[in-house]
């Protein structure tokens, strides 16, 4: 799956960096308002191809792909990487 990765700039959630993964060329209009409002802006960082079972440092590709298929996006970053939507403090606060 080809994905676009956006970095949250001016995060209102925490001082650490976090990223939004979406299917390539989807844009961020699909994000819930609480996620959009959790940063001052989002900057496209890179586009890349990820595959099921692929090893990547700091990214569970199986989980990312699953979340993108189910929700249209995946959040990753310090304190929120590799957590399910139902278990993430960030996601609980900003997606409810």
Task: Give the pLDDT of the chain (96 residues) as one tens digit per residue.
Answer: 999 999 999 887 765 788 999 999 999 999 999 899 888 999 999 999 999 999 998 899 999 999 999 999 999 875 544 444 443 445 445 544
Asked if 62 contacts 53 with a C-beta cutoff of 8 angstroms, the reply is yes
Q: What are phi and psi of 80, to 5 degrees?
A: -130, -5
Choose the CATH number for 2-95 among 3.20.20.70, 3.40.50.970, 3.10.510.20, 3.40.640.10.
Answer: 3.10.510.20
Query: Could you give the CA distance from residue 68 to residue 54 in angstroms, rounded to a whole number?
Result: 16
User: What pLDDT shows up at residue 84?
Assistant: 43
User: What pLDDT shows up at residue 85?
Assistant: 44
Query: Could you give the CA distance from residue 69 to residue 11 in angstroms, rounded to a whole number?
Result: 25
User: What pLDDT shows up at residue 94?
Assistant: 52
Query: Could you give the CA distance from residue 1 to residue 25 in angstroms, rounded to a whole number?
Result: 12
| Extents of the domains making up the chain | 2-95
Query: Could you give the CA distance from residue 74 to residue 67 in angstroms, rounded to a whole number?
Result: 6
Query: Could you give the CA distance from residue 39 to residue 16 in angstroms, rounded to a whole number?
Result: 12
């Amino acid at each position: 799956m080809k994905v676009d990765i956006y970095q949250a700039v001016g995060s209102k959630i925490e001082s650490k960096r976090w990223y939004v993964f979406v299917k390539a060329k989807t844009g961020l209009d699909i994000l819930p308002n609480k996620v959009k409002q959790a940063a001052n802006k989002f900057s496209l960082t890179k586009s890349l191809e990820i595959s099921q079972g692929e090893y990547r440092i700091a990214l569970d590709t199986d989980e990312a792909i699953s979340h993108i298929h189910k929700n249209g996006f995946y959040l990753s970053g310090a304190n929120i990487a590799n957590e399910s939507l139902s278990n993430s403090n960030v996601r609980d606060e900003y997606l409810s």
